Amino acid sequence: MGNDLIKKKFDDIDGKIDIMREFCHTLQQENKDLILKIENLEAELDKKNENEEQFSEQEALIQSKIDGLLKKLNYFSDSAPGDYQANM
């Protein structure tokens, strides 16, 4: 009976080891999937940051052009009607 009990204990331990190995394998695969997802999200974030920077640059350029046009309009509206004809 002692040998049968020892064999049963080893079989139980072996079964638990198999379960733990499968669990570890599953966790390793999930970890790989999560790492890949993180890399993809970081790439998307980098792209969005780049797009945001380009947008900000375009916005600054547009604002600069608007400011230039407003200055011209102010110059023309502040000058006398004859001044404009004389400058041409």
The string of DSSP codes covering 3-64 is: HHHHHHHHHHHHHHHHHHHHHHHHHHHHHHHHHHHHHHHHHHHHHHHHHHHHHHHHHHHHHH
Domain boundaries, the chain: 2-78
**What is the pTM (predicted TM-score) of this model?**
0.60
Each residue of 13-33: pLDDT tens digit?
999 999 999 999 999 999 999
Each residue of 28-76: pLDDT tens digit?
999 999 999 999 999 999 999 999 999 999 999 999 999 999 999 998 8
